[in-house]
Structure 1
């Protein structure tokens, strides 16, 4: 392939999708970094030539000109999507559609459309995939709170570029919204909410900011103070996302009914879980878990299917909760 052709492909990859754009000056700088020495006039001529075959847009009112791809441009530049890649996009669409706001999904729409066209074009049974797959979350399935699209875009860009971000945020315990600067560490999608994990400038401790409580966002082009030893997986495993009752882990031992709780064998509660088959009707598990409210909710819900063997204090706590619930039910029935 000629050097000019390689430069054309490199340049096309640098042009963002509308409404974002890039100037010929910025393109010249990025091409220089890639080893292409070319004038802005040559770049302008190249883009004008390429726009005859590619859906490129130009804002001629700005100086220098700003270029972008049409928002709805298809992704049919070589290499074309193959069937496995197309199916992957279909799966991503099915899973992400309930989780992200429409504007966030709009960035992926051309990929989704091209994937669907690929499946149909190949006359493959996978083309019927969208009609045969649904994503259902466990639980009552309440409506997800709406997240401001600008906030989500700001937060994701801050994470990817390792910048701080400024948010107008209303915590549940705050009397009014406050403008805060966040040093972001990661995003956690925990149905039905999306949490930004990080620290708030001027305040202590790692925070979990629920994104739907932020009303505006702005990128702060400064490096965040992120602890070198912070690990998002370890943070989740610590039980921090489950409303911690204490920082001490719980050694949990349960006797479980088959087949009601067989899923615990296939999906362990923790990486150190040990499972022992007792007989055809029961099995026991021993595992270390976080001391969380989620643990209590789950044990309460599964009380008819498992016995808490250890620890004694947690068994007594769940017993008290169940007794109070039964008393309330009987009182309501008597009224």
Structure 2
């Protein structure tokens, strides 16, 4: 039984291409799971399993072991029809949000799920995806290309709490700079994947667009995590809204009746107030974070919104209108 469990765990530890693992690393990870063994035993196990399954090695010294990209996915217990439906929905509705490397990783599950749904009778689960549609109100953009080797290294470092040595090219720069980073979490904003991390021994948090990481290598050194860091708390703080200030804004804005109706069902904040004015417009009052994202959102309403306060925000919008008027050749009176 011990041999069976060791070999089964070994099969689950071998990654799918483009990732690979050496025999030494597989031995160490088996020991972490409670199956201590020798390097020679792991080598014999791999050679035996290679003849029975689709395992492969690259022939290097030390050899890197992997599952081919098109290897059949198998699990115990097998995938249920409901799990197959979930994978089909993920591919359909999250496909444009996920980088190619993620889709490649999930491809065997997608194929297995399609086969299971095609074989079941009756067919209500198989036809469910055709009865659900998801739309976004934002202008769709194509996701940036992410190097699959980089993505696997980032995931691996994050999963095992290890530092990464990366070459990162900031926006607008031609050359990438070498950095040692402590990976703390991944945040997906629209089409862009960000790595939340710190540099070297510093504690200030950075947001690194993963598609701008040109190379990444997992190091043996443990990642340093700032005390009391929590990814969800960091996201909820508005860090990805591009903060303009630390204090909350007391927003007062007049909206045309049609766009204002959405705030009755989807409030801007928990304590917002709506009141109809004499001219028919709706006054919205709410405490909101002072972010660039708030400004972009308000700008999207165009002439259907008038900012009343705070005064500084109103002046920002007035100055933008003056600049637009000049750019479009319109006469503007103060």
Q: TM-score, normalised by structure 1?
A: 0.79
- In structure 2, the gaps of 5 or more residues are none
Give the conservation status (yes or no) of the 8 Å contact 1:187–1:196: yes
1:230 corresponds to which residue? 229
SS at match of 1:189: strand
Distance 1:165 1:64, change over 3 A: closer
Give the conservation status (yes or no) of the 8 Å contact 1:94–1:135: no
Equivalent-residue separation in structure 1 for 2:37 and 2:314 (angstroms): 73
> How many pairs does the alignment contain?
328
Q: Does 1:113 align with 2:111?
A: yes
Equivalent-residue separation in structure 1 for 2:180 and 2:274 (angstroms): 49
1:250 corresponds to which residue? 249
Matches within 5 A, 1:1-335: 5-21=4-20, 30-31=29-30, 34=33, 55-59=53-57, 61=59, 67-123=65-121, 124-128=123-127, 136-172=135-171, 174=173, 176-201=175-200, 205-270=204-269, 272-276=270-274, 278=276, 285-331=284-330
Distance 1:179 1:62, change over 3 A: closer
- Greater Cα shift, 318-327 or 65-74: 65-74
- Greater Cα shift, 220-229 or 255-264: 255-264
Give the conservation status (yes or no) of the 8 Å contact 1:187–1:195: yes
- Post-superposition shift, 1:148? 2.1
SS at match of 1:108: helix
Distance 1:6 1:207, change over 3 A: closer
Q: TM-score, normalised by structure 2?
A: 0.79
SS at match of 1:222: strand
SS at match of 2:146: coil
- Greater Cα shift, 209-218 or 105-114: 209-218
- Post-superposition shift, 1:109? 0.5
- In structure 1, the gaps of 5 or more residues are none
Give the conservation status (yes or no) of the 8 Å contact 1:261–1:305: no
- Post-superposition shift, 1:69? 3.4
Give the root-mean-square deviation of aligned CA atoms.
3.6
Distance 1:6 1:323, change over 3 A: same
Deviations 1:194-226 (A, max 9, x none): 222222337784222222222211122222332
Deviations 1:148-201 (A, max 9, x none): 222222222222111221221221365632112222222222123222222233
SS at match of 2:259: coil
